[in-house]
Structure 1
Amino acid sequence: MTERWLVVGADERMKVLAKNLASEERTVFYKNKTSWDAELNATALEFHPDVVVLPIQPLQIDVQIVLGIQKAVMHVGKLSPEWEVILKEHMVYRYLQQEAFIWQNAALTAEAFLAYFYEHKRAVRHKRFIITGFGRVAKMTAHMLKNMQADVVILVRSVAQHCEALALGYESYLLDELPHIDGVALINTIPAQWLTPSMREQFAMPIYDLASAPGCVTDSVEHYILLAGLPGKYFSTDAAHLLKTAILDWGAEQCLKVNALD
């Protein structure tokens, strides 16, 4: 029996994903949406999807009741509290909890930032970049910049991450002990609103935010650019392939986890 899949999202990768998922075993319907609205309710009620794929950022809910997905298996990124309640009885698979997907997506994000930077006619070699945070995206971005002979400074809130960055050969400081640092750009990867207007005065450089919305700023600041969803914007084919692999291989990854515990 042919499975019915519904793929939702405005990110270009979701459109490519829907196309790549289509096969003799799967009938795939794609909706370019940033919210679950009456039109999506109507589509789901007519299509009766067996599987629904939601984008990384949670969809806004513009209806009183989400209809047509009661029996669907859900593949999701981040979920809002509303979605958590709606899907509490569903079989839900969270691709953002798959380590392989997270690391590969971080690498695509880092490379996409370089594409964005080059697009604005700026060279990387021998330039100083300040990176806040030292999670996966920060590590991949720092690694790529360093390999291109850029000077990388790491600013973190965590003592453990500070020590890790130092051990890997980076110049590193704690945010609450911040010295004056010059550079061509500050790249934020901390998913929290930590950059107050007073702290902004310490960074006389453009700020590129790779963290998810709402970004790192607490108020409007100059020369601040939120660059969420870079993989889908610059490498939609690669990003879609990565997401397809994460969705279709969830069973194999679960088996690996179970076997590791035996």
Structure 2
Amino acid sequence: MTTIDGNWLFIGTDRRISECSRIMKEQGFNVLHYEGNNYSDQLAVILDELSPTHIVFPILQMEGTIPVDKINKKTILYPGMATNDWLAAFHEAGITIRPYLKEVEFVWENALLTAEGFLLEYYQTSKRRISGEHFHIAGFGKVGKMTAAVLSSLGASVTILARSPDQLGEAAASGYETMQLPTGTVDVKGILVNTIPSKWLDVGADSTLRIYDLASAPGCLRDNAPDEYYTIHLGLPGKHFPADAAKALSEALLRMNSR
């Protein structure tokens, strides 16, 4: 086994992170995994002893942050979800930052795993088949496209709801029914899969629309919307396919490191 130069520190309790660190260790990298989502005295000691050249952060933004003086200026940081405020000190220090959730191939891989994970959630909660069912999908970004493709391949009919003329045009060209995303109360029947990460959805008090929310916070329901038929499903790749998600992450890290 070839040992590859550099020390990799993986931070996080998500199984995708631990599995990814294992995969890279097996490939010859010098790897250490910190089982935590926050900065701590233990992490401080690890940083001093390991002197990592690469730090992979949790999928969700970690609690607290690593003091800049604990990081070598030549270290490369790989954050997941992180606000500009959280990243500001690293940017100001001139540290290289490569967010893995912006790596294009990984995002598409993650979108496909999310779509397949939704299938498992749907089967488990509905106890119904997909063939012959009608699904409305809000948004036609990467997750929306993958979800539509998976559902239609299993015989479902799909209607795409979007505001963007480009997304509506692409959806129509792909063979899906389309509908302008409503600005008021949504009046559709059946099943809605949301992939839009904003509070855009109003449903009537007597609505029986079944809503599966695959988008990140804050969820799609506005504050006055009933949630009896609403469930949110986050982190589906890590929940259902941790090994596949970790493999995709390891490959993304290597691509980013090689460019």
TM tier relative to shorter chain: 0.7 to 0.9
TM-score normalised per structure 1: 0.85
* Residues 34 and 199 of structure 1, relative CA distance in 2, 3 Å threshold: farther
* Structure 1 unaligned regions, length at least 5: 255-262
State the match for 1:257 in structure 2.
Answer: none
1:178-223 CA-to-partner distances (Å, cap 9, x unmatched) read: 773211x21110111212xx43548522221111122222337333
Counterparts of 1:25-174 in structure 2, within 5 Å, are 25-61=28-64, 65=67, 68-71=70-73, 72-88=75-91, 89-120=94-125, 121-174=127-180
CA contact (8 A) 1:41 1:66 kept: no
CA contact (8 A) 2:80 2:99 kept: yes
CA contact (8 A) 2:58 2:79 kept: yes
Pick from 188, 193, 199: which aligns with 1:181?
188
* Residues 74 and 246 of structure 1, relative CA distance in 2, 3 Å threshold: same
Match of 2:159, as an amino acid? V
* Residues 69 and 160 of structure 1, relative CA distance in 2, 3 Å threshold: same
Match of 1:182, as an amino acid? K
How far did residue 149 of structure 1 move? 0.5
How far did residue 7 of structure 1 move? 0.7
- Output the CA distance in 2 between the equivalents of 1:167 and 1:24: 43
- Output the CA distance in 1 between the equivalents of 2:257 and 2:33: 24
1:223-253 CA-to-partner distances (Å, cap 9, x unmatched) read: 322211110111111111101001012255x
1:72-122 CA-to-partner distances (Å, cap 9, x unmatched) read: 211222321232212202111122222211111111110111122223333
How far did residue 42 of structure 1 move? 3.6
Give the alignment's Cα RMSD to 1 decimal: 2.4
How far did residue 14 of structure 1 move? 0.8
- Output the CA distance in 2 between the equivalents of 1:101 and 1:20: 16
- Output the CA distance in 2 between the equivalents of 1:40 and 1:216: 36
Percent identity over paired residues? 36
TM-score normalised per structure 2: 0.86
Pick from 221, 224, 231: which aligns with 2:230?
224
Counterparts of 1:210-249 in structure 2, within 5 Å, are 210-219=214-223, 221-249=227-255
State the match for 1:15 in structure 2.
Answer: 18
